[in-house]
Chains A and B, each alone.
Chain A
Amino acid sequence: MDQIIYSIVSVKKQHRELNALLVELKGISGADLYDVFFDDITAIVSNIHRNNVVASRPNIIEYAEVIETLSQQFTLLPVRFGSVMESTDVIIKMLGRNYAEIQSNLRKVENKVEFGLKVFCDPQNAGADTATIALLSSSGENSPDSRHSVYRNYLDKKLQEHRIKERHLAQIDLVIRDITDAFAHLNPLHKFQKMITAANIINDLLLLGKDKKRELVLAVEELQKKYKDLQLLLTGPWPPYNFVDFKII
């Protein structure tokens, strides 16, 4: 029977707590959960047939619930959905081969949680820019020198688009600097992404101490007061999915 791996957990002197938790929890499709140990790290697994590893919404939510529940009591590395190995022995060997790197990553996320901050702009403001472009591109179309106007209008339009984009990016960089400053006292790790969509202009992934949640919420509320034309959406605390993106063999 194949085994699907949910997470790799640091278990020092908490074997009894882990076993009690695993008895209560269920994996995908109600499957029992097991721990596969190597020294003080353990892979949390359940039996599954390969054909049943389906990325359906219920399966993914059940999978995420296991990781979420474990993360409330243990330091862990979430494993990407779909990681299947053919036996307990193979998993033990995998843990042994990668012990140093797993421990290094566990130390990095110990007592920390992930948050996600999404920043949205008003799509109607973006529409105003489009209207400006449209106005510029149509201007002069009916002028006497229309031969030159075609090229000139094209260049004007491209130049205007470029300027709008540059101005937009400069504004985004300004917001990112403000976010960085506003959270500096929480000493987080940041991962910023810009221009995810026209409306979702910034994604900030943060890794910070478990006890910093309240302070983070207050800092986000202050930022929201400052940027009334933007919408800030804070999600979390999450297990540290975005801060353990490495491969193990």
Chain B
Amino acid sequence: MTLLDSRDLALIAAIVALGWVGIWLLLPHRHGGVKTARAYRVGALLSAIAVLLVLPYLTPPGDLLARLFFYSFSLLALLGAVLMITARNPVNSALWFAVVVLSSSGLFLLAGAQFLAAGTVIVYAGAIIVTFLFVIMLAQSHGQAIYDRSARRPLAASLTGMLLLGALISAIIAPGATRKDGDPAPIYSVGAIADQPPADGPIAAVTAQALTETSRLPRPLEQGETPAHVAGLGATLFTDHLLTVQVVGLLLFVALIGAVAIATPKAPIRPDRSTASSSPGSATTNPGGVS
């Protein structure tokens, strides 16, 4: 039994090969050498073709407006990701990461996660601003540094990433590839099972017992009514996942203490000075010295 037909295999192989060569050409040179503008143009073309070849695997959702937004958000996310990992300047990387975050929160909105879309924008906007500050503070703004102009094993790294992408795509589309119309979905939806009457079988009975009413997404209502989205999320967060909220709060607190403990300025430890100037301090702590 073959999971994928030859057309799917050829398309995935094309995505892997084009993405490999394209991203390798777009990444910096291994030893920091200069690449010609033609290499960048060819790399951009091949990467764009590889991104466009992913699109046949996406099913157009809903009506025209939903399709338009879904495809534009997906394309923006993929292109922003490619440009983020290949940008020479870390400021440009942070900007393209902002594009990726904004388009993926658009995809969150299309999947009906309004609160998470807003939360992602808020959290990552803060993260990106802090990253910007770091780039401005630390990076060499005059001239690009050697570590920005050279990559670490770009050929092998892009092959690895693209092979991972090809394996993931084939694993995702394999359950639905041989499915005909009318067959049940390869993954059972828990919500649909829970909607069945419990007399239908043991699975439905167990699912109806396990799923409390607060943990289900709001039902689609009549036209004009909006389901209480954030209220539902808050209800499940503070009833079913109360311990999770506490643990997450503890995690934030520990991370805060750790960041303060790490980043507090201490006496600088330089390799050239550590032997000469630290002898009085080490004499008191270690009076015997090293034998």
Q: Do A and B come from one complex?
A: no
A: residues with CB less than 8 A from B are none
